[in-house]
Structure 1
Amino acid sequence: MEKLKCGHELCKDCKIQIVEISGPICPVCKAVFGKMQGNQPPGTMQWRSDRVSLPGFFHCGTITIDYYIPHGTQTDKHPNPGKHYYGTQRTAYLPDNKEGREVVRLLKKAFDQKLIFTVGTSRTTGSVDQVTWNDIHHKTCMSGGPQGFGYPDDNYLSRVRDELKDKGIK
């Protein structure tokens, strides 16, 4: 038996099987016990600070994040290996304050672990074989509130930190 960081125990064969199926996540308490690695295609993540403020964050600027994932060919980690996929360009926004700077650092870590995007079917357009967001939410509009994927949204930063934590990103 092997003891995980969370204190639960698994036999070696069970641990190997769990990692292959769902990643290094304890099946009992869902704690991450290793480094999660996603199937995001290669691309870039860049960010910059802008002076304009976001609604709800009037005394700081904005961190603008630009993601670029070019078109490519799906690997065996994607739904249709060998088939073409369509890339994407996305822009997201965070307040340029202490918590926003911490979140962008965590998002960069998640990007480097290939957890931000995946290849699949778009939930908004229904298009198949394209790069889509994975399970980490982003604010893609500066305004419009939560329903418009923008600000103000008082709980967004804590929610996205929880989503990152669920992926083992701290």
Structure 2
Amino acid sequence: MASSENDAEDWVPPEGSWASSAARRRNMQAIRSRDTKPEQQIRRLVHAEGLRYRVSARPLTSLRRTADMVFRPWKVAVFIDGCYWHGCPEHYVPPKTNSGYWSQKVLRNMERDRDTDKRLIEAGWLVLRFWEHEASDVCANEIVTVVRRRRADRGV
């Protein structure tokens, strides 16, 4: 059953909800957590170089966190972080509405990113992080170089 725009206009947030309006709710629901344009561009370039990987996969099954690209045999986890959600030092702009909630959410995301890096490194993984604003070809070249180097180091 498809909902119409009128349904969204009639939507009322539950009491105590952070969603301040139907428009804000629609906006937040439209934000992708995977398969963003930067991810797709980088994946396309890496794939064209002949490398294969898992998409949105857990590098460690015991850790409930997914990397954007996982090269499991060579223990390389790639994250393409959104400037807003991960607090890019160049592009993050604190929100004007409900800033306390959103700023804390971004801060928690940044803390979780550091914790994820630490856990993966302790498990022998190499973590590559890129910002969504970085040039896709530069990111892809770094990924290809690192994965091929690790593959060669392991004699594959």
User: Which has more radius of gyration?
Assistant: 2
Flag the structure with higher strand content.
1
- Structure of higher RCO (CA pairs closer than 8 Å, 6+ residues apart): 2
TM-score, reference length from structure 1:
0.28
Flag the structure with higher helix content.
2
TM-score, reference length from structure 2:
0.29
